[in-house]
Amino acid sequence: MGVVIRTAGEDDRELVVRLLDEAFQDDPVSSWVFPGTEYRRRTHHRLMAAFADLLADGRVDLTEDGAACALWLPVPAGEPAGDGPGAEQGSESGEGAEDGPARIRAAVDPENERVELIARSRTDPPSGRAHAYLWMIGVVPERQGEGLGTALIGTVLDRCDREGLPAYLEASSARGKALYERLGFEFTGRALDLPDGPRMWPMWREPRTP
Nearest 5°: phi and psi at 12?
Answer: -95, 5
Number of other CB atoms surrounding residue 81 within 10 Å: 20
Query: What residue numbers bound the domain in which 66 lies?
Result: 5-76+98-205
**pLDDT of res. 25:** 95
Task: From residue 162, give the alpha-carbon distance in Å to each of 25, 41, 132, 207.
Answer: 35, 41, 13, 8
Beta bridge partners of 167: 132, 205
pLDDT at 152: 94
Task: Name 56's Cβ contacts closer than 8 Å, sequence gap at least 6.
Answer: none
Does the residue 91 lie in any domain? Answer: no
Look at the chain and report how many structural domains it folds into: 1
Q: pTM of this prediction? A: 0.85
Please check whether residue 118 is in contact with residue 153, taking contact to mean a CB–CB distance below 8 angstroms. Answer: no
**How far, in Å, CA of 122 to CA of 108, rounded?**
18
Is 85 within a domain? no
Closest by Cα among 2, 10, 155, 144 to 67:
144
Query: Is residue 39 situated within a structural domain?
Result: yes
Residue 68 covered by a domain: yes
- In CATH, what number is assigned to the domain containing residue 22? 3.40.630.30
Determine, yes or no, domain membership for 89.
no
Compute φ and ψ for 6, nearest 5 degrees.
-135, 165
pLDDT number for residue 51 = 85
Has residue 92 been placed in a domain? no
Q: How many CA atoms does the CB half-sphere of 172 hold within 13 Å?
A: 20
133 beta partners: 73, 168
Position 70, amino acid: A
What is the model's pLDDT at position 92?
Answer: 38
Amino acid 16: pLDDT: 95
Q: Is residue 88 part of a domain?
A: no
Q: Tell me, yes or no, whether 168 lies in a domain.
A: yes
- What is the chain's pLDDT, residue by residue, as a tens digit (210 residues)? 588 999 998 899 999 999 999 999 999 999 999 999 999 999 999 999 998 887 777 889 999 999 999 999 999 887 666 545 444 433 333 334 357 889 999 999 999 999 999 888 766 677 788 999 999 999 999 999 999 999 999 999 999 999 999 999 999 888 889 999 999 999 999 899 999 999 999 999 999 986
